[in-house]
């Protein structure tokens, strides 16, 4: 067996790790779809458009509000003010990239929430540190935290403005067993909507995750005249 490559240590393992991080945002997006379906809300979801996941709350192109979410699959440690705003080798910080994609944009007033979703969680001082929140809003943060964020963003972006709709989200979807968790949510959803029905939740999962992958791979922009995709069949022309 000492000549079999399957029994030899690997030179590097980053490929599998990178794929796992990439896949997490697709499974998280699928969970968002299930949540919207469960509440019978109108929506449209887009992958890799401005941000990792974008959710519109309506099929009306002129009135829809949008939820932007950057999704990070990170084990530890928790994000804090320093790691959120740290720049290296001329690259923008985690928070700086998110903020720069939504402020001073023609669509800024159409954003309902701007989310940084991170599996590692957040260590940010709150007004009440006794609270253990899975969603941290600007209103939950201490004045010291807000001041520190604004100072760092000002140094990085030349502006200390960040949206009141900013949220730091700890997802309920675990890093491990993502597929099984989503299949379970699909099965539960169908049982709730169609009690006593028989279906194969895994087949439904496969169809949905493949479609999300297909949409996320498109690199073209939407042409202004094509925004009617929100009223008809989606035409994926995005960059």
Q: What is the mean pLDDT of each run of 10 residues along the chain (239 residues)?
A: 54 48 90 92 89 91 91 92 91 92 88 96 95 95 94 90 92 90 94 89 94 80 50 39
The answer as to whether 236 is a domain residue is no
Cis peptide before 73 (omega within 30 of 0): no
Q: Tell me, yes or no, whether 192 lies in a domain.
A: no
pLDDT at 121: 96
| Torsion angle (degrees, nearest 10) of CA 228, 116, 207, 174 | -160
**Which residue, among 71, 157, 80, has the nearest Cα to 125 in the 3D structure?**
80
pLDDT at 16: 42
Q: How many domains does the chain have?
A: 1
Q: Is residue 61 part of a domain?
A: yes
pLDDT given for residue 5 in this prediction: 55
Instruction: Report pLDDT for 174.
Output: 86
The whole-number pLDDT of residue 159 equals 84
Instruction: Specify the pLDDT at position 217.
Output: 78
Q: What was the pLDDT predicted at 182?
A: 95
Domain annotation covers residue 209? no
The pLDDT score that the predictor gives to residue 177 is 87
Q: Examine residue 220 and state whether it is found in any structural domain, yes or no.
A: no
Q: Which domain holds residue 151?
A: 13-176
At residue 219, the pLDDT reads 63
Does residue 200 fall inside a structural domain? no
Is 228 among the domain residues? no
Residue 50 lies in a domain: yes
């Amino acid at each position: 067996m000492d000549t079999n490559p399957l029994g030899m240590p690997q030179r590097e393992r980053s490929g599998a790790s990178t794929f796992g991080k990439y896949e997490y945002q697709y499974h998280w997006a699928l969970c968002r779809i299930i949540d919207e379906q469960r509440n019978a809300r109108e929506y449209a979801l887009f992958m890799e458009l401005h941000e990792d996941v974008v959710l519109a709350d309506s099929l009306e192109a002129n009135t829809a509000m949008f939820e932007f979410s950057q999704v990070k699959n990170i084990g530890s440690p928790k994000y804090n003010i320093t790691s959120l705003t740290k720049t290296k080798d001329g690259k923008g910080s985690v928070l700086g990239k998110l903020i720069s994609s939504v402020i001073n944009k023609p669509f800024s007033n159409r954003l309902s929430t701007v989310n940084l979703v991170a599996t590692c969680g957040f260590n940010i001082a709150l007004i009440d540190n006794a609270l253990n929140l899975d969603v941290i809003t600007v209103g939950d943060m201490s004045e010291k935290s807000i001041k520190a964020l604004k100072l760092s963003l000002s140094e990085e972006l030349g502006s200390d403005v960040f949206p009141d709709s900013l949220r730091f989200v700890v997802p309920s979807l675990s890093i491990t067993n993502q597929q099984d968790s989503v299949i379970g949510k699909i099965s539960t959803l169908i049982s709730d909507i169609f009690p006593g029905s028989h279906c194969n939740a895994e087949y439904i999962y496969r169809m949905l995750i493949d479609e999300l992958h297909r949409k996320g791979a498109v690199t073209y922009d939407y042409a202004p005249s094509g925004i009617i995709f929100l009223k008809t069949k989606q035409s994926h022309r995005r960059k």
